[in-house]
Structure 1
Amino acid sequence: MTPVTYLTIADLPAYLHDRHGLTGRSGGPLTESTVRSYHDAATKRRNDECPRPGDFPEPDQYFARTPVWLEATVDAWATNRPGRGAGGGRPRKNKRSDP
């Protein structure tokens, strides 16, 4: 009988990143919990068949049950995500009327 080799997250190839490996990437201070919440929310919306533009990308692969992404996937998401104030926000209380 051949011995079973168990792989860990430390055995991931350098071009694949798990949630922890994505921290500090994408042009901003993303923490592991931020990546987790972005991924969980985007997955729920995809499962409900109502994804939004700018959602966190689907994992490229799974390492056991851990989602992993290619660097290029995350970099493309970061460059195409909407910036600050893209949602429009709350309308102003007193609208000015310009003549």
Structure 2
Amino acid sequence: MSVSYLGLDDLPGYLYEQHGITGAIGTPLTRGTVAVYHRGAEKRRRDGAPRPGDFPPPDRKYGRSPVWLPETIDQWVENRPGRGAGGGRPPKQT
């Protein structure tokens, strides 16, 4: 029996890899940023502590490479918290 593996060049055009997401969402995210978002969200899901706005789990994997449907990424973009949502340092009281 022969096993055939799909390479990333063989992905259907409707699936996004990490570097494909960066250009698709119209936001200046680098491939590295997407990878960090994905790793952090995966760790929180494994630890049982996911956060609202976390990067979605992959819809599929080709080998070890996660891929997402455009609808999944579109939904994440629409629901992700905006700039400053984490609160940050409170302003100085004078």
**TM-score of the superposition, structure 1-length normalised?**
0.86
SS, match of residue 67 in structure 1: strand
Instruction: Quote the Cα distance in structure 1 between the aligned partners of 2:11 and 2:53.
Output: 27
List gaps (5 residues or longer) in structure 2.
Answer: none
Alignment root-mean-square deviation, CA:
1.5
Instruction: Quote the Cα distance in structure 2 between the aligned partners of 1:30 and 1:74.
Output: 13
Q: Say if 2:69 is the partner of 1:70.
A: yes
Equivalent position amino acid for 2:84 in 1: G
Bigger Rg over Cα = 1
List gaps (5 residues or longer) in structure 1.
Answer: none
Conserved in 1, the CA contact under 8 Å of 2:6 and 2:62? Answer: no
Q: What whole-Å deviation, never above 9, does each CA across 1:13-59 have from its counterpart, x for those lacking one?
A: 01111112112222301111011000000000101100000000000
Instruction: Quote the Cα distance in structure 2 between the aligned partners of 1:82 and 1:35.
Output: 15
2:40 alignment partner in structure 1: 41
Instruction: Quote the Cα distance in structure 2 between the aligned partners of 1:93 and 1:34.
Output: 30
After TM superposition, list the pairs within 5 Å mapping 1:1-99 onto structure 2.
4-94=3-93
Greater RCO, 1 or 2 (C-alpha within 8 Å, sep 6+): 2
SS, match of residue 83 in structure 1: coil
Q: Which has the higher helix share?
A: 2
**TM-score of the superposition, structure 2-length normalised?**
0.90
Conserved in 1, the CA contact under 8 Å of 2:41 and 2:50? Answer: yes
Deviation at 1:5, TM superposition (A): 3.6
